[in-house]
Chain A
Amino acid sequence: MIEIHFYGKLRKYSDQKSPLHESLIYLEVNKRDTIQSITNRLGIPSIEMSSCVFLNGEYSSLTRKVKDGDRLGLFPDNMLLLYRQHFKVEE
């Protein structure tokens, strides 16, 4: 099971939509799951997302594998990472 935190316009993918609290869902994952396969499963079109994706607080590419206990943070197209140059993209 992983926990997924949604922000901005993506909060619609959780039951708790108020920006004042965590918009959080829990999802079962399998050994082959990547961040991309999860967003596909949830039906989130890539156009809605920015490159601002964090797995366990690490700036990550969509091809990165996920495992039980992970924390995924997803931001919409209009929430970007400032100082992106200082973050290595984890593959």
Chain B
Amino acid sequence: MNALAIRNKFPQYFKKITRHGVVTISVAFFFLVLFAVSLVKLEFSVLRLFNGFTGLLDVVRLMFPPSADSWSTFYTYLKAMGETVAIAFLGTLLAAIIALPLSVLAARNTTINRIVHFLARRSFDTIRGVDILIWALIWINVVGLGPFAGLLAIVCADIGSFGKLFSEAIEAADRKPVDGIASTGGNSLHQIRFAIIPQVLPVFLSQVLYYFESNTRSATIIGIVGAGGIGLILSEQIRILEFQNVSFIILMILLVVSVIDWLCSKIRFSIIGKNLH
């Protein structure tokens, strides 16, 4: 069969212009124009990029070798890093404890009624809509500068995320054990305790561990607005252009985050096995 015969046999694949093609091209064109307009509006220019990248190269050159100046500054950094991990750990734990009962209200199969369900869902969405840095700023107004404000910010932001994730896990739970408890005369609290909790607890634990890791990352930045931890020191060092210390702190953050990542996945596997993650 030669090319012409194939062309005659399947004309639909050889049409020059198809409707699908027109739609694809016009959508792509629209997004391209949007991209170009945005670049102009955001004040991108070749000169600016050129100057910026040469400046950035200087910065990177200044970052080597990473150093902490002296042992005493190193201890300061270490203490701030410990503070960061402490904020992340306690924040995640408290948020999970607070979110647990609230998520029961936000799950369709365990909630009291539709109004409570709706309200709980919307409040979680609202809480999640506010970024962790904004929470940190608000809590600084309440308890003052320092790690405690950061801790409360993480608790607040995570209640929203945990509430949503936990309630979704509850909704995905198998209905049969619930029916079993109901058939033996258990009330709705019994059903939650003996039929739902055993099913969802491993999922919760794995999510909490995952968030502990991601909160360590968040806890490194809330210091930038003054809420304690390594972020405060990092932003100071950037502002006074001590780039060797900056790269040292960044390396420290990378190391700690990867250690915690490794630890969390170890614990996760030992709790729930490799198939669930």
Q: A and B, one complex?
A: no
Chain B interface (Cβ within 8 Å of chain A)? none
